[in-house]
Amino acid sequence: MLAKTMKVLVTGGAGFIGSNLVEELIRRGEDVTVLDNFSTGSTENLESVRGEVKVLRATCSMIPKLKLSKTELVFHIGIPSSSPMYRENPLLVGESINEFIKVFGLAKKNKAKIIYASTSSMYGRCKPPHREDMVSEPFDYYTEARVAMERLARVYHELYGVNSVGMRFFSVYGPHEKAKGKYANVVSQFIWNIREDKPPVIYGDGTQTRDFVHVSDVVSACLKAAWADLGCEVINVGTGKSTTFNRAAELVSRFFGKSIKPEYRPNPIKNYVYHTLADLTKARKLIGYEPEVTLEEGVRRLVKEG
């Protein structure tokens, strides 16, 4: 925690990761403003901090017109975060990059630091474990948008001294994800289905793997990066462990005390990423990050919370 109260802006603060981050910032006594267009967010996600945060229903493109001149720290989480979104609407590439520039323009003006959401999709064609110095060949709209953002972050650092850290999130799951609907993490979707005695749907044979990371560990990593003096960096945020979809579905079913078998469907996605696994060497060295929530514990919490 910083020594004094900070004026913090969280874009996407009513969304899944953003709202979990907002709750922790409020718990730590920070002065928080949420900016969200509520496309995949909800007011319910901010229910626990109602009256303690200022909420602006707007897009990042509107930032120059908003009264944010005292912002000292920005968590830019409000970036469309699912590859299918970009396949459905390739114009999201330009929109997301332009909004990214608006956020960095605010940081430049206010001399604020930015922690922003990047992605493990960067490593789509790289063999795991995935390190930050790996370079993936172009393969989808979503990844190309994030590549451009990371490069722009360095441009803003070199030209204007804007400090930022891109957090390459792996497969994040946890509370407050319902509003994401079909774009939610597969673990959450497995839980929603099995709770209603429906089979979890797996596209493919279920042997594909993900580094599933609980949102509380993601929040911890973002805060550690915010309080560190790193200049301009990118950091993996995962667990360093991978799990098959079959194993994840089995785990969820077991915690419900059920034995519902998955429904397997053909995988329609071209350039599908089959395996992800974070190398956490850099995260440990630069910000002292260490994941605390195992997949078993994370699923247990979600099942218990209802």
Tell me the per-residue pLDDT of 162-214, one tens digit each, with 9 for 90 and over.
999 999 999 999 999 999 999 999 999 999 999 999 999 999 999 999 999 99
Name the pLDDT band for 305 (thresholds 50, 70, 90): confident
Q: Would you state the pLDDT for residue 3?
A: 52
Percent of the chain clearing pLDDT 70 (strictly above): 99
Q: Is residue 1 part of a domain?
A: no
- Span 60-76, average pLDDT: 95
| Cβ 239 vs Cβ 210: under 8 Å | no
Owner of token pair 């839980």: 191
pTM to 2 decimals? 0.96
Q: Would you state the pLDDT for residue 1?
A: 44
Q: Is residue 2 part of a domain?
A: no
Q: Is the pLDDT of residue 139 over 90?
A: no
Name the pLDDT band for 138 (thresholds 50, 70, 90): confident
Give yes or no: residues 141 and 12 share one domain: yes
Q: Is residue 29 part of a domain?
A: yes
Q: Would you state the pLDDT for residue 61?
A: 96
Q: Which residues contact 236 (CB under 8 A, 6 or more apart)?
A: 120, 130, 131, 132, 168, 170, 278, 279, 280, 282, 283
Give yes or no: residues 51 and 200 share one domain: no
| Cβ 52 vs Cβ 247: under 8 Å | no
CB atoms within 10 A of CB 59: 16
Q: Is the pLDDT of residue 301 over 60?
A: yes
Give yes or no: residues 137 and 282 share one domain: yes
Q: Is residue 251 part of a domain?
A: yes
Which one is predicted more confidently, 83 or 300?
Answer: 300
Structure-block tokens of residue 48:
């626990």
Distance CA 300, CA 294 (A): 10
Backbone angles phi, psi at 146, to 5 degrees: -70, -35
Name the pLDDT band for 5 (thresholds 50, 70, 90): confident
Predicted confidence (pLDDT) per residue in 247-262, tens digit: 999 999 999 999 999 9
Distance CA 167, CA 293 (A): 18
Q: Is the bond preceding residue 199 a cis peptide, omega within 30 degrees?
A: no
Q: What is the mean pLDDT of the chain?
A: 95
Which sign does the torsion angle of CA 298, 303, 305, 306 carry?
Answer: positive
Give yes or no: residues 118 and 202 share one domain: no
Structure-block tokens of residue 234:
């990118």
Structure-block tokens of residue 105:
């323009």
Q: Give the three-state DSSP class for 128.
A: coil
Q: Is the pLDDT of residue 72 over 90?
A: yes
Give yes or no: residues 58 and 199 share one domain: no
- Span 137-145, average pLDDT: 88
Residue 144 half-sphere exposure toward CB, CA atoms < 13 A: 13
Domain with 259 in it: 175-209+242-275+297-305
Q: Is the pLDDT of residue 2 over 60?
A: no
Residue 32 half-sphere exposure toward CB, CA atoms < 13 A: 29
Q: Would you state the pLDDT for residue 86?
A: 94
Give yes or no: residues 191 and 83 share one domain: no
Give yes or no: residues 52 and 181 share one domain: no
Q: Which residues contact 135 (CB under 8 A, 6 or more apart)?
A: 126
Give yes or no: residues 145 and 111 share one domain: yes
Q: Give the three-state DSSP class for 67.
A: coil
| Cβ 55 vs Cβ 34: under 8 Å | yes
Name the pLDDT band for 135 (thresholds 50, 70, 90): confident
| Cβ 136 vs Cβ 150: under 8 Å | no
Considering its fold, how many domains does the chain have in total? 2
Q: Would you state the pLDDT for residue 270?
A: 82
Distance CA 46, CA 48 (A): 6
What's the CATH code of the domain at 257? 3.90.25.10
